[in-house]
Amino acid sequence: MKKIILLFSMILTTSFVVAQADVISKHSGENVTGKVVRVDEYTVVFKYDGEDAENSIGKYAIEKIVYGKSGRVEDVTEKIVVSGEADWEKVVILEEKSYIAGLKKVGDVRGKTGLINFQTGNTGDKKAEKKLKMAAAVLGCPFILMTADKTTVGANSNQLGGMQAIKTGLGYKY
């Protein structure tokens, strides 16, 4: 009888400890169980149960956090659905690697203007960015990690058609 009571109390204690864990729900459907250490501007820092090492996930990959102690639910980001080239305006360009933690790399994307064009530098830059986003949208990627953003300047750089904007990046999905 003592063994049964001891076993029952151990099961109850174990379930109570598990109930205290925080659950991070990702847009991909995966759940991460552990302890949220802090929520930064673009990342969530957490520890897995039984470990001391801190890990981080970019907020763009996280749908919500359910805190174990209080049961409070914190919505983090809405899922961005890109189903084709028409959704290019939804694509988000990221400039730091920490923001993509928890996302999956799909492939390289590139956007550029023609070498000889009739646009000013700012207009050419916007056109290259649009082409970059369109290339990511074709792959179904709502995120781009910018890897290069350069402008090639010709001899007549102060006039129309004197520069070419080239942007490259890596496309990421949930």
- Model confidence at 122, pLDDT cuts 50, 70, 90, reads low
Hey, what amino acid is at 138? Answer: V
Query: Per residue in 50-83, pLDDT tens?
Result: 899 999 999 999 999 999 999 999 999 999 999 9
- Model confidence at 97, pLDDT cuts 50, 70, 90, reads very high
pLDDT given for residue 55 in this prediction:
95
Q: Between 149 and 53, whose confidence is greater?
A: 53
* pLDDT surpasses 50 at 156: no
- Model confidence at 48, pLDDT cuts 50, 70, 90, reads very high
Residue pair 150/121 in contact (Cβ under 8 Å)? The answer is no
* pLDDT surpasses 70 at 129: yes
* pLDDT surpasses 70 at 118: no
Hey, what amino acid is at 136? Answer: A
Task: Tally Cβ neighbours within 10 Å of residue 21.
Answer: 17
The dihedral region occupied by 71, where left means phi > 0, alpha psi between -120 and 50, and beta the remainder, is left
Hey, what amino acid is at 110? Answer: R
Alpha-carbon span 66 to 57, nearest angstrom: 15
pLDDT given for residue 19 in this prediction:
54
Full-model pTM: 0.74
Alpha-carbon span 34 to 108, nearest angstrom: 33
* pLDDT surpasses 50 at 158: no
Q: What b-and-e string marks burial along 35-60, b requiring 16 or more CB atoms within 10 Å of the CB?
A: bbeeeeeebbebeeeeeeeebbbbbb
* pLDDT surpasses 70 at 106: yes
Q: Long-range CB contacts (< 8 A, 24+ apart) of 16-22?
A: 19/68, 20/68, 20/69, 21/49, 21/68, 22/46, 22/65, 22/66, 22/67, 22/68
Hey, what amino acid is at 148? Answer: A
